[in-house]
Structure 1
Amino acid sequence: MAQQTSISTDQTSLLALKQHITNDPHDLLSTNWTETTSIYNWAGITRGITHGRVTSLNRAFMGLSGTLPPHLGSLSFLAYFNITNSTFHGSLPGELSRLRRVRYFSVRNNSFEGEIQQWFPWLPWLKYPFLNGNSFSSVIPESICNVSTLQKLDLSMNQLSGPITPLIFNISSLKMIDLSNNQLSGSMPSFIFSRSQLQQLIW
């Protein structure tokens, strides 16, 4: 019964996302994401074998428009989140900090704005955050430097400003970072070029 309740929670969260979609050019959500269709047959959804919970949400390159509802934070087994190349807008809801199992998080090439949230350190398994191609502004938060699992970080093509915090290069797992096409100031710390784990730096 507990598992069924959890599955119901996942379904409710995804239906809330559907309600926040203002344009679905392929009508995939309107015809497939319904209460009469099993959530495990919904397009773009993958479930885990062990717990039967939603582990992947992939709606990339589908041309969807809308905003992200706070309900998505209830997808507590989600490891993969991808809405690349859509036209979602607004801000990233703080409730996404509850996605404690997420490893891949891509909102690249959308229209999100505002500050980059301070909650990324609350995602202990996050490896691949792709926030590029939006309108995020303000400075790069130092809190993101506390995500010890980061491997690739792409913040390019935003409206970020201020200096580049050198703390970000203390992440021992970081292999690629792209900060290009922003309004960042200052120079790159010289010590980073001796960091052997960093394979690609674009700024």
Structure 2
Amino acid sequence: MKLLFGGWFFLQVGGFIYAQYTKEVYLLMLNSFMLFVGILLFFKDTKGLSAKVTDSSRVLIFGVNEPKLLQVLYLFWISGVLLVEYNSYLPKVIVPILHLSSVVLAMKSGDFFHTRILTASHLMIINAKLLYLYDINYQGFDFARLPDFISVPHVVSFFTYFSLIGCTVTFALLLYSRTRKSQIDPSISNRGALEQPE
């Protein structure tokens, strides 16, 4: 399960990097690259661990929950994807609200990637039925829409740098936490900033 997920995720992030390159949103490419490296390091840190289901029914794909810093990195990354790369959906904010809610729910769940995959999959199924993704007037013109005084170009500009700065700072903290842990206890140098499940 872990290898399947790892392969799928690396293909997905690689696809985002390629799409961002073709769309010439190069700053978002940096975010995707940082997320790619963060997940690659976590994959390395969990070598030898296998997927498991905890007593509280959490599905831990990597054997442990993903570190909080990796989750925050993902949050900054997805905010850039939703509000910059997919800005053609704006001024409607149904898609960002739903996906950011999915990420926050996953962060609270204790099995981050499993919950994120599950809730995102449900959103795709719901969209196939309701078509909220493509209908600019879904539930009315004013439903889940940016106010008129907030312009789409300003949102795109703000979130380009917000997500880049957030990803960069979080990625630096993630690398620092790995370095600190290996200095404190060299025996866990390959475990990085792993967070044990409850």
Q: Give the structure with the larger helix fraction.
A: 2
Higher strand share: 1
Shared fold (TM-score, shorter chain, > 0.5): no
Q: Quick one: higher RCO (CA 8 Å, sep 6+), 1 or 2?
A: 2
TM-score using structure 1 length: 0.29
Query: Normalised by the size of structure 2, how large is the TM-score?
Result: 0.30
